[in-house]
Amino acid sequence: MRILTKKLHCFKVCPSTKIILHNDPNVFTIDNGCGTCITMSSKSRELIAATYHQFRADISGGSMCFTEKQRNFYDQLKKHHFGAGDNCNTIVQICISRQHLLETAIEATRSFKKEDWIKHFKVIFSGEEGTS
């Protein structure tokens, strides 16, 4: 299905882009928020507006609120970790120096494989007593 058969104008769709529906059932304006406005007429005005809003919703995470997005993120994270088998329950102990934190941390994790990064870390600072 083709909505527009001719390329009239082109600009980047950004979060500030708005579709303004006019009183005339076929007329609408596309405003990109940066000074470019295009007023068009189409019998498919509602379809164009709905397609645009669905496109924007898909890009921005749909119609979910922040807590739903956060819950979805954590659910996906849990699926990933449980799919890793016993790797996510394994504890990796690394010993680093507080005086040379970055260098010793890089050295301690240099040989890690992708599956090592989902394990639990127990960090021990060399020369310091700690609680378990």
Q: Read off φ and ψ for residue 79, nearest 5 degrees.
A: -60, -40
69 neighbors 61 (Cβ within 8 angstroms): yes
Res 131: pLDDT = 56
Q: Which amino acid is located at 64 in the chain? A: M
Name the 3-class secondary structure at 106.
helix
Res 35: pLDDT = 73
Sheet holding 27-31, edge to edge: 18-21, 27-31, 37-41
Token pair belonging to 25:
């059932």
Q: Among all chains, which residue has been given the structure tokens 């995470």?
A: 61
Q: Each residue's pLDDT tens digit in the chain (132 positions)?
A: 566 567 666 767 777 788 889 999 899 998 877 777 888 899 998 998 888 888 877 776 666 678 887 888 888 777 776 665 555 567 889 999 999 999 999 999 999 888 788 788 899 998 887 655
Res 100: pLDDT = 93
Apex 76 CA angle, 79 and 116, nearest 5: 60
Token pair belonging to 73:
């993120």
pTM over 0.85? The answer is no
Res 71: pLDDT = 85
CB-based contacts of 67, cutoff 8 Å, min separation 6: none
